[in-house]
Amino acid sequence: MPLSTERPVVAVRDLRTHIVTRWGTIRAVDGVSFEVGEGETLGLVGESGSGKSMTCLSLIRLVPRPAARIVGGEVRLDGDDLLVLREEEMQQIRGRKVAMILQDPMSSLNPVFSIGMQVREAAAMYHHLRGRPLLERAASLLAAVRIPSPEARLRAFPHQLSGGMRQRVVGAMAIAAPPRLLIADEPTTSLDLTIQAQYLGLLKDLQRAHRLAMIFVTHNLGIVARMCDRVAVMYAGRIVEMGPVRRIFREPAHPYTRALLASIPRLGARHDRLTAIEGQPPDLANLAAGCAFAPRCPDAMDRCRVEAPPDHAVGERHVTRCWLSAP
Amino acid sequence: MTADRPRALLEVAGLTKHFPVRQGLLGLHTAMVRAVDGISFDIAPGTTLGLVGESGCGKTTTSKMVLGLERPTAGAIRWDGEDVLTLGREAMRRYRRAVQAVFQDPYASLDPRMRVGTIVAEPIVINERASAAERRRRVMELLGLVGLPERAATLFPHEFSGGQRQRVAIARALALSPRLVVLDEPVSALDVSIRAQILNLLRDLQARLGVSYLFIAHDLAAVAHMSHTIAVMYLGKIVEWGDADAVSLSPRHPYTQALFAAALPIDLDSPAPDAVLAGEVPSPLDPPGGCRFHPRCPHAMARCATEEPVLRAEDNRLVACHLYD
């Protein structure tokens, strides 16, 4: 893509991840490219099955094997290609250089160990601390994610904490190193609204404090407006549009992005009918030739059903894949 | 509320549900979870009441009592002026036919071994003596109403996407021509691009059939879009209830204000919400005295800790807050 961030923390180029199923090979990630710079947040939006999470798992090489396989592309972290590293080298990257926060905090926490043991493990691994300094470090990590009375909380077990508090503990472990890149995959989907607002504010502060590059996966465009500098819209394994959030929200170039923005209810527009996107999400095992959105696209032309549109720029740092604007 | 409103279809007064919880080593000590604590609201024919609040506030318990799935500890539910809790067996059957539900997860609410035609026909089979031909005609009509092709009747739920399954669930809910449908998070499990289809369908059906909705969702913009009135619950109490535009666009209760500020509009120029609430929702086992919201409230005064505010009329809505006394 004709985009460059000055010295990006992570640069993904033509990433391809395939999943072999009974119904055929699914191209879950189909030629995805993007960059994220220091202190920058890239939002990754799209519906379920569009490849958002699979893209993230590919970055840290944790795709579910053996069904899924990364079949091509590059993932450069500070210049080094992660896809060619040996597995032992990759283990030094996970957590230390690239951390991840998932939707369900219980999938990241071990229910039979205390919070203290789990946070200490992370701190010990990255900083080779022991004894009193390690304990203090663990408590200060909990304090950094605004957990009240951190020393007491270190003795608690995950089930004794609320969902919001658990997700904070996961955040504390994620910044233990601190990493260069933080991947947040729907981190607030299981939280209540007021708790979500607290957590989003916390993530922003952590990002600023450590100059983290952040990839934020969500299907909530309100979160994108609040959290992200740039946004990439995914559909059927591809980025169909990417650019600065302001620009994408004001002048979306791709019909899917336009339809998505128009389909969301807004406060104060109660009497307007929503503009629904017709049809169903694509069946990835049976994708037709051409543009994957063509069957649902209000502006589809004959060409769209035959030939996939190329990636092209439509503005500064704004790219899309659509024949309507292709040169 | 204002006097010129039409007679309410459903009227709830002082509705309360307490669940006993056994505590202690031998389970001898019982505490009460005050899930719903004396709430009142009504729904006019052909309108939608949106019920919002965070998890544990009592929304779902309220909907279960309205559906007759949970018996209230105290309070009254009146349907067309009649007390539902004292209805005889036959009248109760009529009530249950008139009040139907659509739940969040269309993967869990449809029997995977039944064909869609059988699923939609089931309420008719149970409640009416209709001939096979009549049943078939009604099923086709219902499928058409929710925008599914006739051939859908012969397929199984797994052959449909989430949005289409929710259409099947809606068709089943409408099978007995109900006058009220409880919609408990009907679009939360659906893909973003599908939600608008279902919300539009629900609004069209309301315009066509004159059915009322009790709409429960955590997506506040969707609730505001669908509802004529909105009730906001916090720890088993209604803190604000009234006209949907009034409540959503100029909320008065500090909790409603914080909730709508946290709703993250897709608006680039809205300032970052400075009304972010600190703390978490206290346990309904031991709710705070006075106003239940006072420990988290940015405007709390001394009397808020001791004196419980009651709902009072204020600018097109009722609000329970000492700020407006």
Segments making up each domain of chain B, as ranges = 10-324
- At residue A24, does pLDDT exceed 60? yes
Residue ranges of A 135-164 with Cβ closer than 8 A to chain B: 162, 164
Of A8, A6, A13, nearest in space to A311 by CA: A13
Per-residue pLDDT, averaged over A10-20, amounts to 96
A3 touching B, CB under 8 A?
no
Query: Which residue would you say has higher pLDDT here, B49 or A122?
Result: B49
Per-residue pLDDT, averaged over A81-105, amounts to 94
The pLDDT of residue B272 is: 59
Per-residue pLDDT, averaged over A58-86, amounts to 94
Contacts of B273 in chain A (CB under 8 A): 197
* Residue contact A273–B264, C-beta within 8 A: no
Assigned token pair, A221: 């465009």
DSSP alpha helix (H) spans, chain B: 59-66, 89-98, 116-127, 132-145, 162-174, 192-209, 220-226, 244-249, 254-261
Give per-residue burial for B96-118: e unless 16+ CB within 10 Å, then b. Answer: bbbbbbbbbbbeebbeeeebbbb
* Residue contact A197–B277, C-beta within 8 A: yes
3-state secondary structure of B187: coil
Of A208, A191, A209, nearest in space to A199 by CA: A191
A286 touching B, CB under 8 A?
no
Of A35, A56, A59, A31, nearest in space to A45 by CA: A56
* Residue contact A263–B195, C-beta within 8 A: yes
* Residue contact A162–B218, C-beta within 8 A: no
Which residues, at least 6 apart from B295, have a Cβ–Cβ distance to it below 8 Å? B279, B282, B288
* Residue contact A225–B265, C-beta within 8 A: yes
- Find, in chain B, the residue whose alpha carbon is nearest to that of A47: B191
Tell which of B225, B235, B293 to mutate to test the A interface (max A CBs under 10 Å).
B225
Element at B181 (helix H, strand E): strand B180-184
- At residue B145, does pLDDT exceed 50? yes
Which residues, at least 6 apart from A146, have a Cβ–Cβ distance to it below 8 Å? A168, A198, A202
Report d(CA B282, CA A247) in Å as an integer.
41
Per-residue pLDDT, averaged over B176-203, amounts to 92
Q: How far is A244 from chain B (nearest CA, A)?
A: 12
Distance of CA B204 to the CA centre of its chain: 19
B272 touching A, CB under 8 A?
yes
A267 touching B, CB under 8 A?
yes
Confidence band, pLDDT 50/70/90 cuts, at residue A3: very low
Level-2 CATH architecture, domain B10-324: 3-Layer(aba) Sandwich (3.40)
* Residue contact A220–B222, C-beta within 8 A: no
Report d(CA A79, CA A82) in Å as an integer.
9
B221 touching A, CB under 8 A?
yes
Query: Which residue would you say has higher pLDDT here, A7 or B83?
Result: B83
Inter-residue contact B185 to B162 (CB < 8 Å): no
- At residue B274, does pLDDT exceed 60? no
3-state secondary structure of A311: strand
Report d(CA B19, CA B32) in Å as an integer.
6
* Residue contact B263–A270, C-beta within 8 A: no
pTM of the model: 0.89
- Find, in chain B, the residue whose alpha carbon is nearest to that of A228: B268
The pLDDT of residue A6 is: 67
Element at B35 (helix H, strand E): strand B29-43
Which residues, at least 6 apart from B269, have a Cβ–Cβ distance to it below 8 Å? none
Assigned token pair, A30: 């189909």
Report d(CA B201, CA B183) in Å as an integer.
13
Inter-residue contact B263 to B277 (CB < 8 Å): no
Report d(CA A327, CA A323) in Å as an integer.
8
Confidence band, pLDDT 50/70/90 cuts, at residue B273: low
Confidence band, pLDDT 50/70/90 cuts, at residue B271: low
The pLDDT of residue B270 is: 62
Confidence band, pLDDT 50/70/90 cuts, at residue B3: very low
Which residues face B39 on adjacent strands? B15
Per-residue pLDDT, averaged over A44-70, amounts to 93
- At residue B179, does pLDDT exceed 90? yes
For chains A and B, count residue pairs whose Cβ atoms are closer than 8 Å. 124
Tell which of A267, A271, A272, A297 to mutate to test the B interface (max B CBs under 10 Å).
A267
The pLDDT of residue B67 is: 95
Q: Which of B191, B261, B273 sits opposite A281 (nearest CB)?
A: B191
Question: pLDDT digits over A184-201, tens only?
Answer: 999 998 888 888 989 999
Of B319, B325, B237, B323, nearest in space to B281 by CA: B237
Element at A230 (helix H, strand E): strand A230-235
Contacts of B219 in chain A (CB under 8 A): 265
Q: Which of B192, B260, B278 sits opposite A219 (nearest CB)?
A: B192
B268 touching A, CB under 8 A?
yes
Confidence band, pLDDT 50/70/90 cuts, at residue A288: confident
B249 touching A, CB under 8 A?
yes
Report d(CA B126, CA B140) in Å as an integer.
18
Contacts of A265 in chain B (CB under 8 A): 196, 199, 219, 221-222, 224-226
Assigned token pair, B15: 């509705």
B202 touching A, CB under 8 A?
no
Confidence band, pLDDT 50/70/90 cuts, at residue A240: very high
B280 touching A, CB under 8 A?
yes
